[in-house]
Amino acid sequence: MNSLIGTYECKADAKGRLMLPAALKKQLTPVLQNGFVLKRAVFQPCLELYPMAEWELLMQKINKLNRFKKKNNDFIRRFTAGVKMVEVDVNGRLLIPKDLFVFADISKNVVVSSAVNIVEIWDKEKYEQAIDDATVDFADLAEDVMGQDESDDGIS
């Protein structure tokens, strides 16, 4: 799958259904029929939506962990806590299960943001706060992550 592009504002209804923005749905069209995995994010108070093929690739990596190491088992348990299989219905809506809705503290206003090969689902206020918090350190972060020389095996 190609990288996803875009950040979109939308609304969740009282039942926890989210209408996927048309531009994002169009990008996801090739993988819609395979379904998705929705999970808690590790570092942020948001949800991560994985197309099934992306989830399976990630699970192949995780499955290589030695389960005779306690930290590996603890990681797997915490990483997969609350994981749900979800589908986009014929109307283009995604039903967010109640426990995940509560975890992300989603109100009516939602931001759906591409994150390379997955989609993050945020409460709008929490998303704006996370972006504002990251703005201060973004130049240093960009240099640390992306500013390596090619000889460092980094991305350039």
Domain of 14: which CATH number?
3.40.1550.20
Grouping H, G, I as helix, E, B as strand and the rest as coil, residue 20 is coil
- Look up the pTM and report it: 0.86
What residue type is 142 in one-letter code?
A
Q: Is the pLDDT of residue 107 over 70?
A: yes
Q: Is the pLDDT of residue 58 over 90?
A: yes
What percent of the chain stands above pLDDT 90? 72
What gap in Å lies between CA 112 and CA 67, rounded to an integer? 34
Query: CB burial class (10 A; 0-12, 13-18, 19+) of residue 45?
Result: middle
What gap in Å lies between CA 7 and CA 147, rounded to an integer? 25
From 27, 22, 21, select the one nearest 9 (Cα to Cα). 21
Residue 1 inside a domain? The answer is no
Given pLDDT bands bounded at 50, 70 and 90, which one contains residue 153? low
Residue 67 inside a domain? The answer is yes
In the block, tokens 């699970």 appear at 59
Residue 51 inside a domain? The answer is yes
* Residue 138, domain extent: 7-147
Give how many domains the chain has, as a whole number. Answer: 1
Given pLDDT bands bounded at 50, 70 and 90, which one contains residue 156? very low
